[in-house]
Structure 1
Amino acid sequence: MAQDKSPDEHPQDTPTVSEAPLAAEPQPDAVTPSLQPEPEAPAPDAGPLPPETPAGPVEDEEAELVAPDADLLEDDEVRPAPSFLGPRGVPGSDGAMAMTDEAGTAWVAGGWTADVAAAVLTASLVLAYCFSYGALIFSGPFSPFLGFGISASLLTGVVTGVVVAWRGQFPFGIAGPDSNATAILAAMVSGLAPLAATLSSDMARLSLVMAALMGSSLVTGLVLFLLGWQRAGRLVRYFPYPVMAGFLAATGWLIVTGAVRMVSGHSLSWAGLPTLFDGLAPYQIGLTVLWAAVLLIVPRFVRGPAVLPLALVAATVVTHGILWLAGLSPEQAQHDGWLFAVSSERNLWLTGLGPLEQQGADFPSPWSLLSWDQWHGASLKIAGDVLAVVVVSCLSILMNATGIEMATSREADLDRELKAEGQANILSACLGGFVGYLSVSRSLLNYGAGGRGRLSGILVGLVCLLVLAVGPAVVGVIPRFVLGGLLLLLGVRLLWDWLVQSRRRLSFVDWLVVVGLVLLAAHFGFLVALFAGILAGCVIFTLDFSRVSVVRARFGVHEHPSSLIRPPEDMAVLAAHGHKVQVIVLRSFIFFGSAHRLYEMVKALVAEQRPHALVFDFHQVSGIDSSAAASFSKIASVLREAECHLCISGIAPTALGVLRAARVIDQRVSLYEALDPSLEDLENALLAYYRQGVSASRPFVDWLSDSLGPIPGDDDSGSVLLAYLERLHLPAGTYLCHGGDATNAMHFVENGRLSVLLESPGKPSVRVRAMARLSVVGEMGFFLNAPRSAGLRAEEDCVLWALTADAYHRLELDHPHLVQALMGYIIRLQAERLSFANRQILALSR
């Protein structure tokens, strides 16, 4: 006979809360959903409205000329060391003992002789670019001050080269003036020409230019250091690729126009186009173009890192030979514009430390020669260019560091590199230099030539210091077209790579952004292009992000019911009418673009399904902006018009506050901690609405008989099975078992509800299932003779019937046909649960 029995082996425990509390309000604030039509209410007022980033590094200005990735790696067989070799397996080290700094990076990793040899070769290229960039900035009306420009460029190479080699992430890194920033600086200086023309003395005009250069370097250095200090090195990953390509292509255009202005003294613009055909200008520009073509072609046939320096020396020697044969003196050649006219002065300003006397002349601080009104006007004029220099410098540094990472298989700390570059530019500004930073090609040239330690970079800086000590007048022997052709080739390469070749990598619309930025920079200046680029980046981000659906899944209760296992009659009702409760699982950050798409989806859903209730699940939503809240306000209005109840689950306090401010949340909206409780309540409302509560009064023994089916010789199979079961009364909050306990019985639920809990030591238990009346629990462990896979706790007072192992064996002997029927029921039950799981997976995968 059936027996009443208390669960002595499982004393009553304190119930464990399985869900986190609702962040915004306690549950009593929620409204129990009702599927009856709601009374009319006034509608709430509608509220008011980071790869991908560039995949590769910024292409350095002279990368193609020295071809470090191809030529050096072919000729010198420089290869990244396999990781299992350790520090002694670095190529070129020959197992030499390395001296390291406090960060563990080598000062002389491959021996000082290798570093010295690499420094000599690399320094020749660095000097060529220092001369070129100094001449680019001090061209046109400022060409009389070319000696100071070359000095400032060399000083930049000294300071940034030494500091970056000493403090930077890459021990073989080479820093100095770079084409991207220098092109903007040249445009900035050219824009100061009208203001400089109003000044009374040459020294005042020179002070204006030097102060602008040093000020931009100081601001850039401070921003770089702060970015590194705040560990913001990864911000570059979120910069739109089309905008970066547009900036670099615009930089190429600035270099081309600067090269033309340097060799001819005329501006490459629509207004200045007729002047390009005056006097010797056509011949000077034509010779510059021809020399750029030579620099493009020669490295394709003659490979090696020394090709470019030797070509520059050869062109200089040949030019002086032709001038001698033509009977032109150096002074006449300088007057005609074939050579640079550079004075023998070599002056450095120590900003804030007073004048530095050289050759018997006193040169005052650049800050002391202009009035406050003049400084104020100049500051306003160059503010945009300084901002452009900061942006381009940050992007170039981070992407160049990434390029060196890829080429040398070394992982870089970008934040450390930013701090080192910031310190270098601050010091450069204080000593009279301008912006400089890490170069990909010069660093890889040093690496390919055998430089591994910090000594090589420091020696390159000292070579620049030596040339600075000799005097900038050495550039006076270099023909203008030699440096102009080098700059022209660099600019054309940037235009080719980022304006022409980018068409293959970008969609047509993205490519139009690149073209537009170049045209804006050419016609209105880099400042306008900078702000247009920032605006384009925001628009691109908005459009791209709006294409990402914020809907993780959409399903009805008939496809994905709650975790409560109900009687078959109830499940049949939910299968027939579950589509009347629709669930939309949201994700990511919701803003106005994605929220409007959600609004359109809800309108179509309401028109098609006519649901009784709609649930928005926010547990995967990171945030929502106020503009998106306006779309949710419109969604709420659409649902009220359709008499569809709105439920919100798993919403964070901040997002809830945004919706409250937009008057989306009111007393007619139900709030839930999680999705499952909302589904359970809505299922109850569906069952009540369709008046299918027959199972609530169905006798337990009749359910057993229907589940087992007719059995020969046993007309009432339920009563026969009941005789072998033991009756248990389980008070609310009491555990029937815990996970890992031995499975000594399977249980039939007559009344009440059991929670199936996953338990982990030190963590709250998680409810994964709930077993309602007229259900079976524990059958898997019972027939597999396995420990309990989860805990079972009574959510309310329960009446259970236990089939123990002994009773099951007696049942096998007494009623084998009944055991077969029971096994058939268990198989059908598992098949139904598997089908249920498949429907859930299908619903979540849509």
Structure 2
Amino acid sequence: MTDQVSSRQQVQNNLLNSISETLEPRTLFLSLLAGLITGIIGVIRAISYAALIFSGALNSELGVGVGLTIFSTGMVSFMAAIFSALPGMIATPLAAPTAITAILANEIVQDLKANFSLSDIVITVLAAIALSSLLTGLFLLTLGKTKLGSKIRFIPYQVVGGFMAGTGWLLVTGSIQITTDIAINFQNLDTFFQADPLIHWGAALFIALILLFVSERYRHFLVMPGTLIGLIAGFYGVLLVTRTSLSQARVQGWLLENFPSGGLWQPLAFSDFGSIHWSAIASHWGLIISLMLVSLLSLVLSNSGIELVVGKDISLDQELESIGLANIASGFGTGMVGNQALPSTLLVDKIGARSRLSGISSGIFCFFVLVLGPSFISLFPKPILGGLILYLGLSLLLQWVYRAWFSLRFSDYLIVIVTLVVINWVGFLEGIAVGFVMSVISFMFNYSQINVVKNMTSLASLRSNIHRSKLEQDYLKTRGEKVSVLELRGYIFFGTADYLLRRVRDRVDQMEENPLSYILIDFREVEGLDASGVLTFIKLLKIARKRNLTLVYTNLLPKLEQQLRKGGAIDATEEDEARCKILPDLDRGLEWCENQLLKDIFPQKEHKSLKEQLTNLFLTSEQAEEFIPYLKPKQVEAGEVIFEAGAKQQCLYFVESGQVSVLLELPNGQTKRLQTHSEGAILGEMRFYGKPPLSSLVSADSPSQLYQLDRATFETMKQESPHLAYALQEYIVRFLCDSLTRREEQVRIIA
């Protein structure tokens, strides 16, 4: 109920806005001009589309087809103008869906022509076209109502190119059939080089080349309609010069046949339903689905193109609803599928007629043409119709077969060509499906070429942010090769999983003399893994059992951990639970591995007094006794903040016992450990010289005994005991240089 109210309110608001916009004389004039120009273009294309659909055995019913396509153009344009999110949106039947509709009509004719009358065949074709419009409208409307527009924007560019190229070729062959009344196939190719067919499709080719030249050279919005009017005038000028009457031109195939008397628009009546052969329609459900998917694809593409030109976002969900309603209205009137008309909409934008009246007046013009009757339509030259269709087809082939060769990679270009061939040999749905499959295979192959192991090093060069003594650092540098560190990235699937396994096996086999003890794997940049990825980690677990290794996983997302546990790569047995260690981040993982290496060589440390620590750092024993009176003792509890982020505290802290960490505050409210210090370390050297780290804080991990040296006391020290101040400053410089060297080494390894 709420959706109905909102839709009704939207229509009312759109109409009110449209009325208010047209009150200005300039807007009214431009809107009517734009509506007239786009209406003329729409009618000309509608006639050409009718000639494409109602060709061959249906040629005698072309009048019905012209009425159908013109009605569809008017109705779709009128409805889209009201419901679209963009004032000035023009909608008409498009070339690609029309090509599929033509195939659908021809298939039904082939199925029924042997056993049923032409009247039954025409009624069945009209029913198929109307049903396609209704189903397409409901499909698009449902997608819009369920807000799925953002989910369907992502279509492989190569598939789009193949779809466009396939459409272009179908339009080329359709134009030849329009001008010669002969369906083209490999068996009758020589027929088209006989004199009469050759001169007819040759004239259409000449006109198409003129349209191509004009459209490529000139960009003014009046050039194309002006050229079409000029070509029509030129055609009748030739008839005048050669003294060819209209009846002679019609007999020679240069004009459309005279249409039967009566209205052009002949919608299905209830009495016609008994003549519809539903089984013939149902047997071509694949074409109807293709038409629905192609209409969706066309809408997504045209909407993106219009957004790019007009410079504003257009709600795809609202456009799905708008075009869906327009197609439903068209279907109820026995009309064909319509969609956003990119060229006409851009034409309206260039004219400056950004008003809903543009689309409304364009639709009204189409209805006006229907009222004029068949005598007006039958005067339209067939070479112009065929030339316009051929121009549209050649434009698409020029863009996606010739120019794409210079802009696409060979693999992408190959997908375009294969999709083109399959569309024309088998069908639209099959061609698009083949294009999608090839795009997926191409993506997987290219993605598998990316090294899933971003960085592979050891603990000898990449260490945690724990402050270690010089002796410990030297030992880790010597024995760090016993810990292999792998930083992974991307998606681990069957294309990349084997590479990861081979890298680990090679590393294990290379370390026979100094065997590995730990393999640390960081998942921070891993997006996911499939069953092959899980199998790889099961194999890693087997290697760990065989070689007595411990696997350490860091930054493992809960969903990935669940996959590994479910697949048996973690916690398969109690032994495996001890063999697989999971830690929150890479820094903690490195710390854990360091502690494992150090615990046998460096057992529990004996606590040293502050004097002993200062003596080990930078002072003599006598200097340490002289230095300590300048310090102020401070006891902190676990979790207590020592330095607030950005706080101006110009003081140093010497850690006698306990453990403290420097933390970086992240935008999401969490923290990242930058460094951890224990006894014998100093804190606050940057702040001490007036440069506080703006986003880092220091807090105690455990109860800690600190000694504070504030800036004022240091100034006193400089006056009273300058040798102590100099020794402290020299140590701080040395400490900062060591930190910078370590960071530089880490950056070099990661890069």
What TM-score, normalized by structure 2, do the two folds share?
0.88
One-letter amino acid of the structure 2 residue matched with residue 748 of structure 1: F
Instruction: Note if 1:314 corresponds to 2:233.
Output: yes
Distance in 1, matches of 2:438 and 2:186, equals 26
Q: Secondary structure at the match of 2:254?
A: coil
Distance in 2, matches of 1:178 and 1:556, equals 61
Instruction: Note if 1:701 corresponds to 2:603.
Output: no
Instruction: Note if 1:687 corresponds to 2:612.
Output: no
Q: Which moved more, 1:807-816 or 1:618-627?
A: 807-816
Q: Which moved more, 1:245-254 or 1:461-470?
A: 461-470
* Corresponding residue number in structure 1 for 2:729: 823
Distance in 2, matches of 1:348 and 1:659, equals 65
Identity across the alignment (%): 28
Instruction: Note if 1:748 corresponds to 2:678.
Output: no
C-alpha deviations, 1:614-673, integer Å up to 9, x for none? 222224434322233223333433444444321112222222222223221121211123
The structure-2 alpha-carbon separation of the partners of 1:350 and 1:785, relative to structure 1 and needing over 3 Å to count, comes to: closer
Instruction: Note if 1:176 corresponds to 2:127.
Output: no
Distance in 2, matches of 1:681 and 1:484, equals 77
Does the CA-based 8 Å contact 1:147-1:344 persist in structure 2?
Answer: no
One-letter amino acid of the structure 1 residue matched with residue 588 of structure 2: P
Q: Secondary structure at the match of 1:501?
A: helix
Does the CA-based 8 Å contact 1:108-1:455 persist in structure 2?
Answer: no
Distance in 2, matches of 1:520 and 1:611, equals 54
Does the CA-based 8 Å contact 1:553-1:585 persist in structure 2?
Answer: yes
The structure-2 alpha-carbon separation of the partners of 1:146 and 1:742, relative to structure 1 and needing over 3 Å to count, comes to: closer
The structure-2 alpha-carbon separation of the partners of 1:800 and 1:298, relative to structure 1 and needing over 3 Å to count, comes to: closer
The structure-2 alpha-carbon separation of the partners of 1:739 and 1:530, relative to structure 1 and needing over 3 Å to count, comes to: closer
The structure-2 alpha-carbon separation of the partners of 1:524 and 1:807, relative to structure 1 and needing over 3 Å to count, comes to: closer
Does the CA-based 8 Å contact 1:316-1:477 persist in structure 2?
Answer: no
Instruction: Note if 1:221 corresponds to 2:140.
Output: no
Q: CA offset at residue 548 of structure 1?
A: 4.3
- Please list, as runs of the form range in 1=range in 2, the aligned pairs for 1:57-206 lying within 5 A after superposition: 101=16, 106-107=21-22, 110-206=26-122
Q: Secondary structure at the match of 2:674?
A: strand
Within the candidate set 473, 479, 489, 2:381 is matched to 479
The structure with more helix, counted as a fraction of residues = 2
Q: Which moved more, 1:499-508 or 1:337-346?
A: 337-346
Instruction: Note if 1:575 corresponds to 2:485.
Output: no
* Corresponding residue number in structure 2 for 1:36: none
The structure-2 alpha-carbon separation of the partners of 1:763 and 1:144, relative to structure 1 and needing over 3 Å to count, comes to: same
One-letter amino acid of the structure 1 residue matched with residue 612 of structure 2: D
Does the CA-based 8 Å contact 2:639-2:699 persist in structure 1?
Answer: yes
Q: CA offset at residue 312 of structure 1?
A: 4.1
One-letter amino acid of the structure 1 residue matched with residue 158 of structure 2: P
Does the CA-based 8 Å contact 2:265-2:370 persist in structure 1?
Answer: no
Q: Which moved more, 1:523-532 or 1:257-266?
A: 523-532
Distance in 2, matches of 1:338 and 1:789, equals 80
Distance in 1, matches of 2:160 and 2:691, equals 64
Distance in 1, matches of 2:20 and 2:436, equals 38
Q: Secondary structure at the match of 1:747?
A: strand
* Corresponding residue number in structure 1 for 2:9: none
* Corresponding residue number in structure 2 for 1:387: 289
Does the CA-based 8 Å contact 2:665-2:695 persist in structure 1?
Answer: no
The structure-2 alpha-carbon separation of the partners of 1:425 and 1:608, relative to structure 1 and needing over 3 Å to count, comes to: farther
The structure-2 alpha-carbon separation of the partners of 1:122 and 1:805, relative to structure 1 and needing over 3 Å to count, comes to: closer
* Corresponding residue number in structure 2 for 1:674: 585
Does the CA-based 8 Å contact 2:418-2:435 persist in structure 1?
Answer: no
Does the CA-based 8 Å contact 1:606-1:639 persist in structure 2?
Answer: no
Distance in 1, matches of 2:667 and 2:560, equals 32
One-letter amino acid of the structure 2 residue matched with residue 771 of structure 1: H
C-alpha deviations, 1:106-145, integer Å up to 9, x for none? 4567421222223223322221111001111111122122
- Please list, as runs of the form range in 1=range in 2, the aligned pairs for 1:187-336 lying within 5 A after superposition: 187-235=103-151, 237-276=153-192, 280-297=196-213, 304-305=222-223, 306-318=225-237, 320-321=239-240, 325-326=243-244, 330=247, 334=250, 336=252
The structure-2 alpha-carbon separation of the partners of 1:445 and 1:602, relative to structure 1 and needing over 3 Å to count, comes to: same
Distance in 1, matches of 2:381 and 2:371, equals 22
C-alpha deviations, 1:38-70, integer Å up to 9, x for none? xxxxxxxxxxxxxxxxxxxxxxxxxxxxxxxxx
Within the candidate set 334, 340, 358, 1:456 is matched to 358
The structure-2 alpha-carbon separation of the partners of 1:537 and 1:107, relative to structure 1 and needing over 3 Å to count, comes to: farther
Distance in 1, matches of 2:315 and 2:77, equals 18
Distance in 2, matches of 1:223 and 1:483, equals 31
Q: CA offset at residue 406 of structure 1?
A: 3.1
Runs (5+) with no aligned partner, structure 1 = 1-97, 356-363
Q: CA offset at residue 506 of structure 1?
A: 0.7
Instruction: Note if 1:629 corresponds to 2:534.
Output: yes
Q: CA offset at residue 683 of structure 1?
A: 1.0
The structure-2 alpha-carbon separation of the partners of 1:108 and 1:768, relative to structure 1 and needing over 3 Å to count, comes to: farther
One-letter amino acid of the structure 2 residue matched with residue 676 of structure 1: D
Distance in 2, matches of 1:513 and 1:783, equals 63
What's the RMSD between the two structures over aligned residues?
3.3
What TM-score, normalized by structure 1, do the two folds share?
0.78
Q: CA offset at residue 297 of structure 1?
A: 4.4
Does the CA-based 8 Å contact 1:734-1:794 persist in structure 2?
Answer: yes
- Please list, as runs of the form range in 1=range in 2, the aligned pairs for 1:255-654 lying within 5 A after superposition: 255-276=171-192, 280-297=196-213, 304-305=222-223, 306-318=225-237, 320-321=239-240, 325-326=243-244, 330=247, 334=250, 336-341=252-257, 342-346=259-263, 348=265, 354-355=269-270, 364-365=271-272, 367-370=273-276, 374-381=277-284, 383-608=285-510, 611-654=516-559
One-letter amino acid of the structure 1 residue matched with residue 743 of structure 2: A
The structure-2 alpha-carbon separation of the partners of 1:193 and 1:642, relative to structure 1 and needing over 3 Å to count, comes to: farther
The structure-2 alpha-carbon separation of the partners of 1:643 and 1:265, relative to structure 1 and needing over 3 Å to count, comes to: farther
Higher relative contact order (CA 8 A, sep 6+): 1
Does the CA-based 8 Å contact 2:129-2:336 persist in structure 1?
Answer: yes
Q: Which moved more, 1:819-828 or 1:624-633?
A: 624-633
One-letter amino acid of the structure 2 residue matched with residue 818 of structure 1: L
Does the CA-based 8 Å contact 1:740-1:790 persist in structure 2?
Answer: yes
One-letter amino acid of the structure 2 residue matched with residue 624 of structure 1: L
Runs (5+) with no aligned partner, structure 2 = 1-12, 572-576
The structure-2 alpha-carbon separation of the partners of 1:183 and 1:108, relative to structure 1 and needing over 3 Å to count, comes to: farther
